Each structure stands twice: as C-alpha cells, then as structure tokens.
A and B are shown apart, each in its own frame.
Chain A
Amino acid sequence: MQRLLRGVRSIHLAHLLRTGVHLDACEMRDKLKFEFSEDNRRRVTALLAWYPEPEWKGALLPLLDIAQRQQGWLSISAVHVVAETIKIDPMEAFEAAQFYTMFFMKPRGKYVVSVCTSTPCKLRGGDEIFEACKKTLNLEHGQTTPDMQFTLKEDYCMGACVNAPVLAINDDMYEDLDEKSLGDILADLRCDKLPPAGPRNGRFASEPKGGPTTLKSHPPPPGFMMQELPDPKTNKCQ
C-alpha cells in the first residue's frame, strides 16, 4: 500500500515538473516574499481611485501587471498580495493569472523574444525568422537561455500584419525584418543595447514602401467643410 501511494505521488510530482507549474510550498512562500515598492504603491492607489469600491475586482489585471513589471515574473506570493489589496479570493486571482498569456508564472529571461507566426507573417517569411531565432539563440519555443538573457516564444498575431514579419522584445515591436536585421537586433541585445524599434526597411509606420500613395497634401485646416449647426434654443430636433 505504501509503495502504491509513493508511486502515485511520484507520478504527480513528475507531471508537475514536466508542465513547469511549480506550486509554492509553504516554506518557499516566506523566502519569496513580495511587496509593492514605494512607487508602485502610489501607482496602485492612483489606479484604484478610478474604480468605485464595489468594482475593485476589475482592477485585477492592471495590478497583476504592475506586480509583474516590478518582479520580472509573477510568483504566488505576488498574486496573494494583489488579491489582498483588492479583497478577493486568492484562488480567483490565481485563476486569472494563469489564464492570460501576458503573465509569466515562471522566472523568464531579461528579453522575451516573441516571433509572430500567424498567416500574414508566414506569407512574408515569418517562419524563416523563427528558424533563424531558434538557431542563433539555440532555444526551442518556451525555453530560456541558461544565462537568463533570452526567452523565445512563438506568438499568434501581434497586430502589425502590414509590417510583417514581426518580432517583439518585451514591449517593443521590430517590424519588416529579414535575416540580416534580425542578426543585428540579437547581436545588440546580447550586449544589452536596445536597438531602435519600428520598421527596419526604411519606412516610418504603415505607409507603402515606395512612398505614400495617399495623404500627399497638407491636412485641411480646422473647420473645413463644417456644416451649419442649427441654433439649439430655437431648433428642436424631431
């Protein structure tokens, strides 16, 4: 019987280790204590002022985001602190934190490299960019380098399809990539130098590459084509 129980527990533990979700044991919670810093405490109070008190639950995602930016990732203790601040059940906060892909429940690298591999980016060579990233960083999807500098992720549609293929490092987006500019970006990041964000093939935003085909003239002045407004006191609307 004992051997059976031990066997069951080892299967359970092996499963946990495989999926990477480490449930905080009671001892670890004290070692990994989390507290909002001074600045963040001010931010939290300012944020909660926007929500009426019965609706504080709506501030869950923004507060988790502030906690994540302070710590780099979200530990269980951080989730508990956030749940205490807005007075909800910690299990609900943990559920939400695990559901959304913007929260990292494990320690992650300093630069999270997300490559978009959705249909518009694939049509313009997103797959080759992902393969090049994998080869240069020597990582698979979801893994972190041993020196905790890079984490590689494969993301789905980052909302910049016109500037495909797209790469995102933390919050900045690098667009219009090819192999050479990708190599430059990763080389810069290895030396901790942040390269300038945005399109890398010479264009500024989302205008056509050869120059804009629209909006070539100066914008019209205010009041252009303004209609005659009826006098609100005399003209009652039907």
Chain B
Amino acid sequence: MFRKLLPNNLRSLGEQQLRLVQTVSKEAEKQPKKSKKLDPPKGYKPNCKTKFGPLDDCDRIFQNLYGRHDWRLQGACERGDWHRTGDLLEQGPEWIMEQVSKSGLRGRGGAGFYAGRKWDFLRKAKSEKVPKVVIVNCAEGEPGTCKDREILRHEPHKLIEGMLLVGVAMGCGRAIVYVRNRFYNEACNLHFALEEAYHHGLVGESACGSGIKFDVMVQRGDRYLCGEETAMINCLMGKLGRPRRRPPYLTEKGYFGHPCLVINAESIAVVPSILRRGSEWWAGLGSSYNTGTKLYCLSGQVNNPCTVEEEMSIPLKDLIERHAGGVKGGWDNLAAVFPGGLSTPLLDPPTAAEVLMDFDCLVAAGSGLGCGAVIVMSKDSDPLAVMLRSIQFFEKHTCKQCTYCRDGAIWLPEIFARFVKGQTHPHEIDWTLAIADKIRNSKPICGLAYSQVSVAESLVRLFGPQIEERILKYAKGS
C-alpha cells in the first residue's frame, strides 16, 4: 500500500540527504562576505609606506624581551620606564586619549578594534557613585601565543606604568590584572614589581606625586574561556567562568556593577612608549590603519621557534625566514600556516608567500591576525591528525551554553577522527561544511563557535583532496 503513495521519481534516502546538504553548502558560498570597515579615530593620518622590513633595535619597545637585563625597578628605569611619568600625568586625561587616538593603536588581543574608539566608551561612561575599573587580560590561552608571558616576567614595569596611564586617561581608580593559573612564577614577578612600585610611590595613594589614587590588584584564574571578556568578569567575581550576553555592555555594568573594560596586556604595555616618543613615531611604523610594532610568536615546524617584536605589516615569508630560520626543510616544504593562533583560518602556501602580517591584509586574504601567533605546518606532519588535535581543543574548552557550539564540539571531532582513518564516506565532507554553516549562522554568545567553524572550513578547503585519497586507500584495504 505504501509503495503506491511514493512518487515514482523519488530517489533513495541517502541521495536525498546529499542533495539537501549540497544545496546548503552552495548557498553558503553565494552569500557575500560581510566585512565592516572600521573607522579610525579622529586625528589619525594614514601614511604611505610600502616597504616594511626589519626594525632598528632602537625602534623596539620591549628591549628586555629575552630577559637578558634586570627586570626589576632599577633595570627598568635604566631602560627608560617611569621616565617623567609625573609630567605625562600632568598633561591630563584628554591629552593621553588624544595621543592614543592619533597613533591609530589597534587592540592586540585579537579583535583589532581601534583603541581610541574602544577606550572612549569607558571614558564617556558616567559613574558618580561607582568607580570605574580597568581589567588587564593576561589570560593567553590561545594555542600558539606566549607573548604576554614575556611581558609579565621580563618587563612588568612597562605593564604597571601602562595601567596607570591608561587608567587615568579613562578616569579609573583601580586596575585588576587577570593572569592565568599556569603563570604562577610570572605572576610572582609581577607581584614583586608591584611591591617595588608601591614602595617608591609610583602607584598607590598619590601616583608619581600627582595626587591621583590608583590601586592595582593581581588575580589568577583558569580555563581558556576566561580569556573572553565577559567570562573573565564572571571568573573575577567568583562565579563560573562562562560568557554572558552582551546588551548590558561591560562599560555600563561589568565587574560587580562597576563600568569596566577588558584590555590586552600588550596594548597597555606599549602606551607609555607611545606617549613618550609621540604618536607620529608610532603612526610611521606599519602600513596605513595598521600602525606600530607587534610581538609575533613563531612556533610549529620552523627551525628556530622564537618570539620577536617586529613592525606591523612585515611580509610573512620575511618574518619566518629572517627570525625563525625558515620552515623545516625549506619554504617548499610548507603545507599550511595559522597566521594568528588556532582560531584563525589556515593560509595555503601561495597566499602565505605574499601576505603581509597585519589586520587588513589578512582579513582580505580570508584569515585574520588574531594575536600574532604564527603556527607553521610542514608537509612532514600528517595534516589530518593535526586538524583533529585542533578541533579537540575546542571540544575540551566549550562552556556548553550554546546548543550549536556544544553539538559541534561533539560531532566535529568524531567526523575528523573518521577522516584520519579514512573510514568514512565522501558525504561527510559536505556534512562538515553544513554543520559549520549552521554554527556560524546561529547567534552564539561568544566567539568560540566561530573558531570551530574556521578550523572545520580550513580543513575542508585545504585538505579536501587528501581526505578523499585516504578514503579510497581505506576502501581498497591497504
């Protein structure tokens, strides 16, 4: 009886599903990529540099990056920290904000918002009864990045001075530094430096003799997700470290009801040098709209992995060959590169040979700068196993609040594990794209879901043929 009800041209169930999945993936490709062009803050004038090469040593801000000099107060003062900070404070908060806006500093934590615009939100927030708080993000959970660790243990005084200047510019009387639990020894360095600063009257009751009261506190927490700003606020308040939804913005109601703002440690540590050397110097480094210097962490299969401070917009190939000794086995041995930590889409070798390391160029190439952590994958490693490990990272660290992120964190590792063995059907490649598309179009609370999407799509885009090869190999029984 049922056979008569079925239409004659109905194909099998498997083929129906495949057609559905293919329509979804094709529609996803047709949607234009929405890219919001961020407006720079007023007062910023773009430059017309075209060649970005190695910096002179005197143009570098973090002189003690490798810990060869004394990190305590005496050594820091010899390198120029705390020089005439009282005079800088005397200029007033508007002058400090104007200098930061004119320099075109962009956030170093991954999003790349203009600091002038972002910090203005907190400055304009009214707070008669509740004092404002600056929260410094040294969480550094992203695989690939280890730049904040060097700032904490070798240059803590830059961080403290930066916190003071930034806090005063926004009208805050208090700063809290969030350090991840694994950096216990580095946090000890920061505590010691803070004690020295309090002892010499550089922060505290009357910071640098200017009459402004500024207090700094250090707190440690755990979990990758606590690097996200709302999750970090929850962690600092003693609750579970899960992100929360964003209208009540942090500048209205953040840490225990105080208006606050979460800023990356590197963005704060460069502010004293910008104020001392002038915003024209900073705006003269790097290309237009991507100014200044950046700490890059080169890791993965290179000959000499290291952390370097280089000019923004330096070509990626130049960076790897000059400072990391090149890819293991030569540039032709390169398989793929993560330009900004695990959450940024992969670059394939032709793009990697030409791209410049800055925010705009990488976004135009389909990726992002993130936190500047370059992870290099060469042809010696099994790419599918590496991508499986990458997606398992997100499986462990999702907070399981959003359905799509939680389910994606269960399905995607299973699918990837089957890809590694080859024990699967080519449909699953399309299913990966369909799942990734669904996750992207849901409205997750934080950006972990988008990171999963970028890892999944990178796998299919770059290593699709290899997956199919492996399926054939497994099917033949070899």
Contacts and interface: CB of A to CB of B under 8 A. Distances in A.
A99 B240 contact: yes
Interface residues of A, number: 66
Given A219-B69, A226-B277, A117 B221 contact: no
Contacts of A146: none
B377 A123 contact: yes
A102 interface: yes
A60 B238 contact: yes
Contact of A120 (B64, B92, B144): B144
A110 interface: no
Interface stretch (B11-19, B28-36, B295-303, B441-449): B295-303
A123 B240 contact: no
B278 A227 contact: yes
B424 to A, nearest CB: 22
A65 B220 contact: yes
Contacts, number: 237
B219 A156 contact: no
B72 interface: no
Given A65-B181, A96-B238, 10 more contacts: A50-B215, A61-B219, A61-B235, A99-B241, A118-B342, A171-B184, A205-B65, A210-B325, A219-B80, A232-B95
A48 B298 CA distance: 41
B95 A157 contact: no
Contact of B57 (A92, A117, A217): A217
A173 B149 CA distance: 12
A220 interface: yes
Interface in B145-161: 145-146, 148-150, 154
B83 A223 contact: yes
B305 A164 contact: yes
| Closest A-B pairs by Cβ, 10 of them | A60-B238, A208-B304, A227-B278, A219-B63, A222-B80, A208-B306, A171-B184, A222-B83, A102-B222, A206-B307
Interface in A178-211: 197, 204-210
B66 A212 contact: yes
Among the interface residues A119, A214, A216, which one has the most CB atoms of the partner chain B within 10 A? A119
Interface stretch (A9-17, A19-27, A51-59): A51-59
B373 interface: yes
Contacts of B146: 159-163, 206
A120 B299 contact: yes
A50 B217 contact: yes
B300 A96 contact: no
Given A204-B66, A208-B304, A88 B238 contact: yes
B427 interface: no
B88 interface: yes
A113 interface: no
Contacts of B184: 171
Contact of B301 (A100, A123, A232): A123
Interface string A44-73: 000000100011011111100100000000
B94 interface: yes
Contacts of A88: 238
27 contacts: A61-B220, A99-B240, A102-B181, A102-B222, A119-B144, A119-B375, A120-B299, A122-B386, A161-B146, A161-B297, A161-B373, A162-B298, A171-B185, A173-B185, A209-B303, A213-B306, A214-B55, A214-B308, A214-B310, A214-B323, A217-B57, A220-B63, A223-B83, A224-B80, A225-B281, A230-B95, A232-B95
